[in-house]
Amino acid sequence: MFVRSSLICLLLSLLTLPLTAADEKNAEKPARPWHELADGDRVVFIGGTFIEREGNYGWLETLLTVANAPKKVTFRNLGWSGDTVWGESRAYFGKPPEGYKNLLTLVAELKPTVIYLNYGNNEAHAGEAGLVDFTKQYNKLLDDLTKIGNPRIVLIEPLPYEAGFSGFNPAEYNKKLEQYQNVIKQTAEGRKLGLVEMKLPKPSHPPGLNKLKQEVTDNGLHLDYPGYYRLLQQFPDLQSERVQKIQRAEVGADGKLELVMNQNLLALRDLIVSKNELFFHRWRPANTTYLTGFRKHEQGQNAKEIAEFDPLIVAKEEEIWELLPQK
């Protein structure tokens, strides 16, 4: 076991340390905090369930938008539940390499200047036996993304699972996950990339309220609506004065947690979620098999309607930017 573990550590060090020419170019740039964006940046979120559900809840994008106001930044969410660094969820009826190719093709179309990348949760189930393959493919993905316009890349660690659910004990899984988090940390350090370290958020208990839902996930695996919000409270760099207008948490008449906050911030989040939904239908349209797949000979003429989402997305972004404070 000692020899095997030592060999794995050696292989991981060899896989994570080398820098490509593009990485060296990135390393020459002044380091920026992971949350700091520039006017005109095109941000793309890539990952599995955590990223896809972020698009539905919108908290990370909302707080990044507010923290960088009044800069005009565009965000596109390419999260796909259950996805891995091999693009396995994106292959439709094809094989995993096709899903990986689909991902890179779409990223190239979006021309991102910044990429937030979150993988590792699904891969960690393989434990130590899967570390070498994960590390190799993770670095290949980074190499391939870097070739697409040399974007600034920020790595987001996979989030541990939460205890407290009947019949579910995440302790063994979380030990495996630590090994994958360490690989990502080493990769970020070796490539001089931004890193967001992820820890389970703790439930908040405002004074006078003792009925708040204790868990921050809905099943031990996936953050729920307040879970995403509480997670982001752990990042002080996102808590600008404008964001601090969030007031308090309360329990509604139905016993569920409700967040009561500044109405402008809520309106902004609602617009962002609406924009994300429009983009979702743009890049993952219903009936893809008939529109662009092997049955396109039946309804392929309707594929032209996919592009009709573009002006709707742009119009929604204009609404978002109108709500941003100018100071």
| Domain residue limits, the chain | 2-244
Give burial (CB, 10 Å; 0-12/13-18/19+) of 105. exposed
The distance from CA 155 to its chain's CA centroid, rounded to whole angstroms, is 9
**The pLDDT value given to residue 229:** 79
pLDDT per position as a tens digit, 273-307 = 999 999 998 877 766 653 455 445 544 445 455 66
Tell me the pLDDT of the chain averaged across its residues.
81
pLDDT per position as a tens digit, 138-165 = 999 999 999 999 999 999 999 999 988 8
At a CB cut-off of 8 Å and minimum separation 6, what does 17 contact? 186, 190
Residue type, 55: G
Assess contact for 69 and 141: CB atoms under 8 A. no
Distance (Å, whole) CA 58 – CA 64: 10
Distance (Å, whole) CA 273 – CA 167: 33
pLDDT class of 255 with cuts at 50, 70, 90:
low
Nearest to 324 by CA among 243, 255, 258: 243
Sign, CA torsion 199/83/188/32: negative
Nearest to 54 by CA among 77, 23, 26, 31: 77
Half-sphere exposure of 204 (CA within 13 A, CB side): 20
Q: How many CB atoms lie within 10 A of CB 266?
A: 14
Token pair, residue 31, equals: 């380091």
Between 204 and 325, whose confidence is greater? 325
Give burial (CB, 10 Å; 0-12/13-18/19+) of 91. middle
Distance (Å, whole) CA 253 – CA 274: 27
Q: How many CB atoms lie within 10 A of CB 70?
A: 10
Distance (Å, whole) CA 284 – CA 47: 15
Sign, CA torsion 121/56/35/315: positive
**310 has pLDDT over 50:** yes
**246 has pLDDT over 50:** no
Distance (Å, whole) CA 39 – CA 41: 6
**189 has pLDDT over 90:** yes
**The pLDDT value given to residue 201:** 79
Distance (Å, whole) CA 29 – CA 20: 15
Token pair, residue 307, equals: 């592009």
Distance (Å, whole) CA 157 – CA 6: 24
pLDDT per position as a tens digit, 31-55 = 688 999 999 999 999 999 999 999 9
Between 164 and 2, whose confidence is greater? 164
Mean pLDDT for 213-222 is 83
- CATH number of 2-244: 3.30.470.10, 3.40.50.300, 3.40.50.1110, 3.30.70.580? 3.40.50.1110
Assess contact for 98 and 29: CB atoms under 8 A. no
